[in-house]
Structure formats: structure tokens, C-alpha cells
Amino acid sequence: MIYSMTGYGKSVTILQDKKICVEIRSLNGKAMDLSTRIAPQYKGREMEIRTLLTNVLERGKVDFSLWVEQGEKADMPSINQAVVQGYVEQFAEVAKNTGLSVPQNLFEVIVRLPEVIARKEVYEVTEEEWALVLEGVKAALADLVAFRKQEGEALAAKFQSKISNISQLLCSVEPFEKERVEKIRSRIEESLAKFAGVDYDRNRLEQELIFYIEKLDVNEEKQRLSNHLQYFLETMEDEKGQGKKLGFIAQEMGREINTLGSKSNHAEMQKIVVRMKDELEQIKEQVLNVM
């Protein structure tokens, strides 16, 4: 089964007052090219994430993002009420001892004093929380793999259509191939007829004709191309990860088609070869997207 390297997956995990969002995008590439953007609190788990992605996705240019969307309460600053109460009591005591009045804007004064706004403690990720986050990563990954499979099915249908077209074009060569041989023979004999009175060995002529026609014979190229077409279809049914192999087979198909064109020596056959090249070129372009 064919899998495309193009895909997209996303998941959202709700954890108390925050959302953990995971997004994965992938495009075609010769090897695994992974870039990550991970929220600071989960940065220590990056190698675990990278290993998981690499083992599952294998190839392609992959962009991975994991970010946190905090709830409203989580974003609010924390006021240290004990410190504020302490400052109020101290202001009252100073006013009592000195006879000075307490400022009317006492709260505005206090919030500027040290330790009133509580510092956020360093956040530590528990194993329970990480297990839930990891499930979110796996869900986004499964989503992307499903996307790749769907794209792969579309590619497989396109390949089957193109292979069928090349196979039909290959069959259409045969009538012109026989016609070509007769035209070559007639052209040579007409050329010899211009030399009236010149004696020549007809047996030797037949031998030379046979030798010349054999050099233009394309049966081997046709057979090899037919085998490559069948091998391409068989390889498509293998396990995922056959993109490079399909690319090599397409190259071999191209060699046989090119040789067929160089040997054709016939206008209609050359037109057929051009159409075959067009179909093959479309296969080569799409093979680059196969895992």
C-alpha cells in the first residue's frame, strides 16, 4: 500500500485550566528532516517526541508544534495576601507611633512594594500530566498517518491509470513496427534500382537487410518495458516505504522508452513514444511524494 509523505494532524488535550495543542505537518523529502517547536515546560521531553515521530513517519520534511493555551485564571497575577496584610499593619503602627496619617492611596503604595506580587513557582510536569500530553501527540500523529494513507490511495489510482496508458501505447506500436520493416526494405530496393545494369549479390543483400532490420528490432525493449510496468504495479502493493524503489523502476522504464524512440525510425512510432514519455514524466513527479 502506498503512503504519501504529505500530511497534516492535530490534537487538543484539556488539562484543568489549560489546553495542550499539538500540530504536525509533513511534506516530501529524501530523508527525515524534523523541526520542532515545543512549549518550555515540555522541552525536556523533546528526544522522546523526536524518536516517536522518526519511527512512525520515517521520511519527509516534518514540522512539529506543541504549545499551551492557558485559561484566564492561569494568566492572572497572584497577589501575596499575607504580605499585603503585613504592610497594612506596619503602616497603621507607624502612623500610631509617629502621629502621621495613613495615606489615602495606601493600596497603590503597597502594590509597588517588594514581594506583594507573588512570583510563580517553577512549573514541574508530573508523569500523569506527561502521559496525557503524550497521548495528544500520538493522536495528532495517527491523524497525520491517516491523512498520508488517504493521499497515498489517490496516488495509487493515478499511477495505475498512467501505467495502463503506457501499456496501451506500447501495444499500439506493433502495427507500425511491421509496416516500418516493409518500408525500409522497399526504400533500399528502390535505391538499388536506380543503379541500372549494376550487378550485385542478392543473397548478400538479404543478409545485410536482415542485419540492419535486427539492429532496429525493438522486441527486447518492449518486453523489458512491459516487465517494468508490471513490477511497478507489484511494488505498489508492498509495505509502505517503497517510494525510492518506485523511483528506480521509473528510471528503468524511461531508459527502455528512450531506446524505443531512438530505434523507431518511424513518424507514428515516435509520436507514440512522445506520449509514453509524457505519461512517465507525470509518474516521476508524483513518485517524489511516495514514502
Regarding whether 103 and 208 lie in a shared domain, the answer is: no
Regarding whether 142 and 40 lie in a shared domain, the answer is: yes
Regarding whether 242 and 219 lie in a shared domain, the answer is: yes
pLDDT exceeds cutoff 90 at 112: no
pLDDT exceeds cutoff 60 at 72: no
Regarding whether 64 and 14 lie in a shared domain, the answer is: yes
Tell whether 166 is covered by a domain.
yes
pLDDT at res. 210: 66
- How large is the angle between the packed helices 267-287 and 127-171, nearest 10 degrees? 180
Closest CA to 118 of 67, 91, 83: 83
| Structural contact between residues 169 and 272, judged by C-beta atoms closer than 8 angstroms | yes
Residue 277: which domain range?
153-287
| Structural contact between residues 247 and 284, judged by C-beta atoms closer than 8 angstroms | yes
pLDDT at res. 240: 66
Q: Which residues contact 227 (CB under 8 A, 6 or more apart)?
A: none
pLDDT at res. 213: 66
Tell whether 121 is covered by a domain.
no
Regarding whether 111 and 217 lie in a shared domain, the answer is: no
What domain count does the chain have? 3
Which element (helix H / strand E) includes 101? none
Tell whether 262 is covered by a domain.
yes
pLDDT at res. 114: 78
pLDDT at res. 183: 72
pLDDT at res. 200: 63
Q: Is 163 helix (H, G, I), strand (E, B) or coil?
A: helix
Regarding whether 253 and 161 lie in a shared domain, the answer is: yes
Closest CA to 5 of 60, 69, 79: 60
Residue that has been written with the C-alpha cell 484539556 in this structure = 14
Regarding whether 144 and 63 lie in a shared domain, the answer is: yes
Question: Domain of 18: which CATH number?
Answer: 3.30.230
Average pLDDT over residues 226-254: 90
Average pLDDT over residues 112-131: 74
Tell whether 1 is covered by a domain.
no
Regarding whether 231 and 203 lie in a shared domain, the answer is: yes
Regarding whether 30 and 68 lie in a shared domain, the answer is: yes
